[in-house]
């Protein structure tokens, strides 16, 4: 799986966190934390699973999950508000809607597949209850993190993190030079 983060607009969520600089934006938060604010509860993930499986109508999702109507309404509303799903009318009288994945919602497919794979590995003692296959050839799918530069599959122990462009703690090079010169002055004072 290749994850491409270019050309994706930042999402300003309604639950910002305060950064060390005093700013309160979603960009100051870990991407996992921000994602969990939108889809991190059991029902939201199961609703998404059903939509990926082709169940688009409120009644289909409700019947399949056995979820209370008020909870389903709340989860669907939240997913629509955050542009993960969109409401598409399929009937005029009375007006009824399908719930369809947006591009943002479709981008969650690898995350749901990873959760499913983890559950299959650690909790499906009799084997996977569902196997995802390639539509064209019918072979079971595999999921891997691959380096785009060297095309190698990267295991969890070989993954490192570094501040990204959305990290507010990254300073322009002129600021870093000033800090480096300040450190040098402090080091010289300590040596005296």
User: Domain of 155: which CATH number?
Assistant: 1.10.10.10
The answer to whether residue 190 sits within a structural domain is no
pLDDT at 35: 95
Nearest Cα residue to 4 out of 153, 131, 146: 146
Length of the chain: 192
CA-based torsion, 152, 158, 159, 160: positive or negative: negative
Task: Work out how many domains the chain is built from and give that number.
Answer: 1
Nearest Cα residue to 28 out of 163, 188, 149: 163
Rounded to two decimals, the pTM is 0.73
The answer to whether residue 121 sits within a structural domain is yes
The answer to whether residue 5 sits within a structural domain is no
Tens of pLDDT along 109-166? Answer: 999 999 999 999 999 999 999 999 999 999 999 999 999 999 999 999 999 999 888 8
Give the DSSP per-residue string, 115-147. Answer: HHHHHHHHH-TT--SS--B-TTT-PBP----B-
The answer to whether residue 182 sits within a structural domain is no
- Averaged pLDDT, 70-99: 97
State the DSSP H helix or E strand holding residue 89, giving kind and residue range, or none if neither. Answer: strand 85-91
Kindly tell me the burial class for residue 120, based on how many C-beta atoms sit within 10 Å of its own C-beta (0-12, 13-18, 19 or more): middle
pLDDT at 172: 59
The answer to whether residue 187 sits within a structural domain is no
The answer to whether residue 55 sits within a structural domain is yes
pLDDT at 14: 40
The answer to whether residue 9 sits within a structural domain is no
72 is in which domain, residue-wise?
Answer: 26-166
The answer to whether residue 7 sits within a structural domain is no
pLDDT at 182: 47
pLDDT at 29: 80
């Amino acid at each position: 799986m290749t994850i491409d983060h270019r050309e994706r607009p930042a999402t300003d969520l309604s639950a910002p966190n305060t950064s060390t600089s005093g700013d309160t934006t979603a960009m100051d938060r870990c991407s996992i934390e921000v994602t969990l604010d939108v889809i991190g509860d059991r029902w939201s993930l199961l609703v998404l699973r059903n939509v990926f499986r082709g169940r688009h109508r409120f009644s289909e999702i409700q019947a399949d999950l056995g979820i209370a109507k008020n909870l389903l309404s709340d989860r669907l509303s939240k997913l629509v508000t955050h542009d993960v799903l969109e409401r598409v009318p399929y009937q005029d009288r009375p007006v009824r809607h399908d719930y369809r994945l947006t591009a943002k919602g479709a981008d969650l497919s690898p995350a749901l597949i990873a959760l499913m794979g983890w559950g299959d590995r650690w909790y499906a003692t009799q084997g996977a209850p569902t196997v995802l296959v390639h539509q064209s050839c019918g072979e079971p799918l595999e999921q891997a993190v691959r380096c785009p530069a060297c095309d190698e599959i990267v295991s969890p122990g070989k993954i490192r993190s570094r501040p990204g462009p959305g990290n507010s703690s990254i300073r322009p090079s002129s600021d870093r030079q000033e800090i480096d010169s300040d450190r040098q002055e402090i080091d010289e004072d300590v040596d005296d």
